[in-house]
Amino acid sequence: MSMPTQGAGLDSGHHPHDADEVRGSSIGELMRQVTSDLSTLMRQEVELAKAEIRQEGKKAGKAAGLFGGAGFGGYMVALFLSLALWAGLSNVMDAGWAALIVAVIWGAIAAVLYTKAKKSAEHIRGLKQTNDSVQRIPGALKPHPQEVTR
């Protein structure tokens, strides 16, 4: 983005500063200056917003990476606890039966999580119904000649 060489803003020398200079300017010149200043201000605000979004995006990316690492750590804990349970059970029974018991426990956990996820997904689908209702509103607001009575 190129910046003016004489400086930016209202103090660059091209813009009127006092009442005499304003009175000596035509309406067209004043409108051009106001439009130019507004345009510059908008560009600067957009650049500021972009910089803030980039900064927040970096923070969100770091947080997502940390959550991912925490999830992997949790997975490893579950894996090694499962192996420890399997090894502990294999001290009192056949290793095959111990593995089956651990697998059944994880199957039950998966079933509970699936049921909760399915219920959550149904709530999300409720938004689709709301969206369908909202899309029908414009048609409902149109006049229907057969219903108009005088």
Report DSSP state, residue 22. H
Distances (CA, A) of 126 to 2, 47, 48, 53, 112: 50, 38, 38, 31, 22
CB 95 within 8 A of CB 86: yes
Q: List, for residues 96-136, the tens digit of each pLDDT value.
A: 999 999 999 999 999 999 999 988 887 776 556 666 666 66
**Hey, where are the domains in the chain?**
12-76, 93-140
Tens place of pLDDT per residue across the chain (150 aa): 444 444 444 444 455 557 777 677 788 888 888 888 888 888 898 888 888 898 888 889 999 999 999 999 999 999 999 999 999 999 999 999 999 999 999 999 999 999 999 888 877 765 566 666 666 666 655 666 665 555
Q: Is 125 helix (H, G, I), strand (E, B) or coil?
A: helix
Separation CA 128–CA 134 (nearest Å): 10
What pLDDT does residue 140 have? 58
SS3 1: coil
pTM of the model: 0.48
Contacts of 40 (CB under 8 A, 6+ apart): 8, 9
Cβ density class 118-142: b for 16+ within 10 Å, e for less: eeeeeeeeeeeeeeeeeeeeeeeee
Supply the pLDDT for residue 109: 94
- CB of 102 closer than 8 Å to CB of 86: yes
